[in-house]
Amino acid sequence: MNVLVIGGGGREHSMIKKLKESKLVEKLYAAPGNGGISRDAQCVPINDSQIEELAAFAKEAAIDWTIVGPENPLAAGIVNAFEKEQLQIFGPAQEAAIIEGSKDFAKRFMHKYGIPTASYQTFTDAGEAKAYIREHGVPIVIKADGLAAGKGVVVAETLEQALAAVDHILLDIEFGSAGSKIVIEEFLQGKEFSLMAFVNGSQVYPMVPARDHKRAYEGDQGPNTGGMGAYAPIPDLEAAVVETAIADILEPAAAGMVIENRPFSGVLYAGLIETSDGPKVIEFNARMGDPETQVVLPLLENDFMQVIIDVKAGKDPELTWKDAACIGTVVASAGYPGAYEKGRPLPSLDGAEAEGCFVIHAGTKLEEDRYVSAGGRVLLTGSVQQDQLAAQEAVSRFLKRFDASEDFFYRRDIGFQQNTEKA
């Protein structure tokens, strides 16, 4: 088959690496791809927002399957457009992608179908929002309603932070139309985890749970980012909690979307928190998580392309997973998630496999056969080993090559929080 992956980040590179292993895939394309992806697939210079051009390319290149990585083209209706042209595509239609595209919709949906989540209120008026915050106190969570590239969420620990967040989103229009409405919700205490599932209508096929580290610096300090690393599985997460999350969250969500005449087909991501009252939803995404995908897919034993075909056909893909641990650490540009420079040369990435590691590119570009930075999160180095500690040690050894550079930084404690708590 000829397969096209839409997107150009770490999630898409991870999918491409898994698709390369498939006996069903002959030719791989990525649009637009990135420097590292260009070594594993033919990159096509079409942005993920150019839906008509992507559909035209899919026809021209005789693409058998298109797989969508990012949220923006899903929210813009790329699946609807491709299916109208009788092109096979994996991902939810625009009507279903709203579960990520509008936090207000997601909260109302969860309330309607009894899916456990934080209490909340939605506002378009800054004065009313601030009055609500003063009444309920801090800590409190303020979220832009629409898609904001993972940056539209503020966990405010002081009243000043909370009120400033309202101003930034509603009055300063920091996130454009995505912030024309805000959702304010209670702060939930507990350990977070991510649970993704292949979904087709009411059929739900869960993946291995993963945990990512959102804060920029070690010890979970600093600003929130798109994720500084992740690990899977989660040793301290009890199987009973995962079963509850599947039965009380994923399955009712899939069934509810069918009832709403918004049937979901693709990967449903549940960002969850393990509270004293059981698992609750922090957010739903309409696609694979990033960086969770980079540590979950390496543990999948199935042919990834066959899984997609089976799920779309309404068949049980009979997922099987390696009895192993995977850890991935993100290397980011100095200054991320704030301002950072691009075009900084990376050290040599040779020898990853010999060191028991793999490298997933997110924000890289190839210039004269050398990688340079092209984004905030530059790459992820991961390792699959028999246990978590062995995976951590392999990643740590490989990443030492970045220590001499002031242009990049990474967290040295990805997954180690786990060991501290168990000790």
* pLDDT single digits (tens) 64-97: 999 999 999 999 999 999 999 999 999 999 999 9
179-238 pLDDT, tens digit per residue, is 999 999 999 999 999 999 999 999 999 999 999 999 999 998 998 888 999 999 999 999
Give the integer Cα–Cα distance in Å for 89 and 5: 10
The contacts of residue 143 (CB under 8 Å, 6+ apart) are: 103, 152, 153, 154, 182, 183, 184, 185
Give the integer Cα–Cα distance in Å for 325 and 320: 14
Neighbours of 252 (CB within 10 A): 18
Asked whether the predicted pLDDT for residue 151 surpasses 80, the reply is no
Query: Mean pLDDT across the stretch 252-265?
Result: 98
38-48 pLDDT, tens digit per residue, is 999 999 999 99
The contacts of residue 405 (CB under 8 Å, 6+ apart) are: 344, 347
Query: Mean pLDDT across the stretch 286-309?
Result: 98
Name the strand (E) or helix (H) holding 327. strand 325-333
Query: Mean pLDDT across the stretch 112-124?
Result: 97
Q: What number of CA atoms fall less than 13 Å from residue 163's CA on the CB side?
A: 9
Using H for helix, E for strand and C for coil, what is the string for 224-290?
ECCCCEEEECCCCCCHHHHHHHHHHHHHHHHHHHHHCCCCCEEEEEEEEEEECCEEEEEEEECCCCC
Give the integer Cα–Cα distance in Å for 241 and 247: 10
pLDDT of residue 423: 27
Query: Mean pLDDT across the stretch 117-143?
Result: 96
The two structure tokens encoding residue 346: 């990376």
Residue 217: exposed, middle, or buried by beta-carbon count in 10 A (0-12, 13-18, 19+)? middle
Percent of the chain with pLDDT over 70: 98
**Under 8 Å between Cβ of 162 and 142:** yes
Kindly report the average pLDDT of the chain as a whole number: 95
Asked whether the predicted pLDDT for residue 421 surpasses 70, the reply is no
| Beta strand residue intervals within 61-189, DSSP E | 65-68, 89-90, 120-123, 140-144, 153-156, 182-186
Kindly indicate the confidence band of residue 417, based on its pLDDT and cuts at 50, 70 and 90: low
**Under 8 Å between Cβ of 386 and 378:** no
What is the reported pTM?
0.94
The contacts of residue 315 (CB under 8 Å, 6+ apart) are: none
Domains and CATH numbers, the chain: 2-93 (3.40.50.20), 125-180 (3.30.1490.20), 191-312 (3.30.470.20), 325-422 (3.90.600.10)
Kindly indicate the confidence band of residue 35, based on its pLDDT and cuts at 50, 70 and 90: very high
pLDDT of residue 291: 95
Query: Mean pLDDT across the stretch 230-259?
Result: 97
Longest C-alpha distance within the chain, in Å?
Answer: 59
The contacts of residue 123 (CB under 8 Å, 6+ apart) are: 129, 132, 170, 181, 182, 184
Give the integer Cα–Cα distance in Å for 304 and 16: 10
